[in-house]
A and B are shown apart, each in its own frame.
Chain A
């Protein structure tokens, strides 16, 4: 069975410090993995995706994620947090054998302190 676990429900950082949002996955197949961001009362926006190419994936707004098969992880990082990064972040795994249905993690709320 395929699943995804976001290890922290809430992360708080100071502006200008690094961001680390952790995600572990379980998949019977070579997975496709995504990170989405959701600002309050808005839809989700794709940050980046991994689809079996380069293991270090760069996304929008300075975010990147590294696929580590040995650790079954896909952690999201950013070198320097900005106030506008405060939002909910979702790690997502794709179901290979079911037409692109996605399994969402429970989300990590990122707070950025001035």
Chain B
């Protein structure tokens, strides 16, 4: 069966520090991979998605970047965190066509202080 691992679960970082969040998927090949952010009391905002190794699409201009160094690994990064980067970050995967559901990790709660 397929599983998704996302870590860390919580993170407190000072403004200006770097960020690296990692997500890996097991049990499937060539998944579509996604990073979402969820601000407090709001819906989900798609940050990045990837349909293959090295292929990253950015949805919104921001202080963050994403990379996909391996087929089932997706990394979210920042060189210098801003206060506005605080939120709940969710990694997700899907396979197949547009009507395939997303499968989410348990998320990372990031607090920038």
The stretch that binds B, out of A14-22, A64-72, A77-85, A96-104, is A96-104
A98-B98 contact in complex given A43-B106, A105-B43, C-beta closer than 8 Å = yes
Q: How many residues of B contact A (CB 8 A)?
A: 25
A100-B32 contact in complex given A41-B109, A43-B90, A49-B99, C-beta closer than 8 Å = yes
A55 at the interface (CB under 8 A from B): no
Give the docked Cα–Cα distance between A46 and B102 (Å): 8
The stretch that binds A, out of B11-19, B44-52, B65-73, B76-84, is B44-52
A42-B107 contact in complex given A101-B49, A106-B42, C-beta closer than 8 Å = yes
B1 at the interface (CB under 8 A from A): no
**Whole-angstrom distance from the CB of B53 to the nearest CB of chain A?**
15
Against B, the Cβ 8 Å flags (1 = close, 0 = not) of A5-33 are 00000000000000000000000000010
Give the docked Cα–Cα distance between A105 and B106 (Å): 20
Q: Chain B residues near A32: list those with CB within 8 A.
A: 98-99
Q: Chain A residues near B46: list those with CB within 8 A.
A: 101-102
**Whole-angstrom distance from the CB of A34 to the nearest CB of chain B?**
6
Q: Which residues of B contact A (CB under 8 A)?
A: 6, 32, 42-44, 46, 49, 51, 88, 90, 92, 94, 96-107, 109
Q: Could you name 26 residue pairs across A and B whose Cβ atoms are closer than 8 Å?
A: A32-B99, A36-B104, A41-B88, A41-B107, A41-B109, A42-B106, A42-B107, A43-B92, A43-B105, A43-B107, A44-B44, A44-B102, A44-B104, A46-B102, A46-B103, A49-B99, A52-B99, A97-B98, A98-B98, A99-B98, A100-B96, A101-B46, A101-B98, A104-B44, A106-B42, A106-B43
